[in-house]
Amino acid sequence: MNRAQLADAIKEYARQLGFSLAGITTPDPPAHFDDYQRWLKAGHHGQMAYLEEERALARRADPRRILPECRSILVLGIPYQNPASVSPSKEQLPSGRIAAYAWGDDYHLVIPPRLEAIVRFIEEKVGHSIPNRWYTDTGPLLERDLAQRAGLGWIGKNTCLISPRNGSYFLLAEILLGLDLPPNPPFTADHCGACTRCMEACPTQCIRPDRTLDARRCISYLTIENKAEIPVELRPQIGNWVFGCDLCQMVCPWNIRFAHQRSDPAFAPREGVPLPVLAQELTLTAEEFNRKFRNSPVKRAKRRGYLRNLAVAAGNLQSMDSLPALTEHAQSQDEPLVREHAAWALTQINE
């Protein structure tokens, strides 16, 4: 088996494991690293201080800093549920919305065993161990740069990687390999054209004209990475999103036309997760929260962050059903963060 045949076999095995997108690139420095540094200097990363840590920056500038023996990088994409597949019924009580990637199991738990399986497959094919490192949104890599260079798609105006055949509802992963494999041609076309639907759809106007976003205004950041108060002036724009946001992807023509309804079974919606009923969720005890969101990405927000987000959504929807729980939180919640947002929600409902 020559190197080209080995590369084809690896990509085919990856597809069998659920990675509908697979490509190979070199470990050369990413083309957009200077843009990334400017983004950091502008403070658009918000409270995510780990992004500007010196060692991590050096590694993002050159993947060989992560694995000196690296000769090739396998870049993979695995699909999750198209959010258009779930919509609220007319009879449903006021509900929040959770980003579609978080409807099922946490991809940080789902993807790594499959990456390990791919490494074992490669080592069996070549007959010896291979230096390797693998990541899925956990390592100091500019993932979308690598994915574009591996031919998976282009970086859209909404900052998501978009595949012309699959849209953008997929999660990325990478395996750095101490093995020479022929790289795929990079994806050089830009199919966004003059379209600005994602920018127009963003309630907080966080999407910038240079294909970056100001995380400090992004609903996904505000409801997940942000551990403090949600700025008062942005709360009305949060709508009923209680963990993440899909709006800029939902309006993208490439998702409307080409994103598949099917996803990896691990990311199938859990009962009561895509559209959580606000009045019920606001009463979750710590034990109930942990039980409901066991092995779920939603646990990243922690219960205090989730309750904060639910309160904002209840205020925006003027959810009368949520009044008892909001009143309880505003008066006696141990967490000041939850108390303050519950009090804000009450003022919105009682206006």
pLDDT tens-digit map of 92-149: 789 999 999 999 999 999 999 999 999 999 999 999 999 999 999 989 999 999 999 9
* Same domain flag for 30 and 134: yes
Please return the burial class of 143, using the count of CB atoms within 10 Å of its CB with bins 0-12, 13-18 and 19+: buried
DSSP letter assigned to residue 95: B
Flag whether 166 is in a domain. Answer: yes
Q: Cα(211)–Cα(155) distance, rounded to whole angstroms?
A: 8
* Residues of the chain predicted below pLDDT 70: 89-91, 261
* Same domain flag for 275 and 318: yes
Flag whether 93 is in a domain. Answer: no
Buried (b) or exposed (e) across 50-63, using 16+ Cβ within 10 A? ebeeeebbebbbeb
* Same domain flag for 147 and 214: no
* Same domain flag for 306 and 173: no
* Same domain flag for 135 and 205: no
Q: Please, are residues 211 and 31 in contact by the beta-carbon 8 Å criterion?
A: no
Single out the residue of 240, 245, 252 nearest to residue 88, CA to CA: 240
* Same domain flag for 173 and 206: no
* Same domain flag for 203 and 173: no
Flag whether 312 is in a domain. Answer: yes
Note the pLDDT of residue 25.
Answer: 98
The tokens 């639910």 sit on which residue?
310
DSSP letter assigned to residue 265: G
- Between β-strands 72-79 and 170-177, what pairing exists: parallel, antiparallel or unpaired? antiparallel
Helix (DSSP H) and strand (DSSP E) numbers for the chain = 15, 8
Query: Six-digit token pair at 314?
Result: 């209840």
Range of the domain at 332: 197-260+270-350
Query: Six-digit token pair at 25?
Result: 């690139």
Flag whether 147 is in a domain. Answer: yes
Note the pLDDT of residue 92.
Answer: 78
* Same domain flag for 207 and 301: yes
Note the pLDDT of residue 91.
Answer: 64
Q: Cα(235)–Cα(229) distance, rounded to whole angstroms?
A: 10
* Same domain flag for 75 and 141: yes
* Same domain flag for 70 and 209: no
- State which of 177, 210, 241 marks the end of a domain: 177
Flag whether 116 is in a domain. Answer: yes
Flag whether 313 is in a domain. Answer: yes
137 is catalytic: yes
Single out the residue of 104, 62, 110, 63 nearest to residue 85, CA to CA: 104
Note the pLDDT of residue 176.
Answer: 98
Alpha-carbon distance values, 279 to 80, 90, 131, 322, 325 (Å): 28, 17, 51, 4, 7
Sequence-distant (≥ 6) Cβ neighbours of residue 103 within 8 angstroms: 80, 81, 86, 267, 268, 269, 270, 273, 274
Flag whether 191 is in a domain. Answer: no
| Main-chain phi, psi angles of 273, to 5 degrees | -95, -50
- State which of 147, 177, 207 marks the end of a domain: 177
Half-sphere exposure of 227 toward its Cβ, with a 13 Å CA cutoff? 6
Note the pLDDT of residue 208.
Answer: 96
DSSP letter assigned to residue 224: I
* Same domain flag for 62 and 206: no
* Same domain flag for 209 and 324: yes
- Between β-strands 154-155 and 72-79, what pairing exists: parallel, antiparallel or unpaired? unpaired
- State which of 123, 145, 177 marks the end of a domain: 177
Q: Cα(192)–Cα(249) distance, rounded to whole angstroms?
A: 12
Note the pLDDT of residue 262.
Answer: 74
Note the pLDDT of residue 27.
Answer: 97
Question: How many domains are there within the chain?
Answer: 2
Sequence-distant (≥ 6) Cβ neighbours of residue 274 within 8 angstroms: 83, 86, 97, 98, 100, 103
| DSSP string over 13-59 | HHHHTT-SEEEEE--PPPTTHHHHHHHHHTTTTTT-GGGG-HHHHHH
34, 137, 190, 210: the catalytic one is 137
Note the pLDDT of residue 261.
Answer: 62
Q: Cα(57)–Cα(49) distance, rounded to whole angstroms?
A: 11
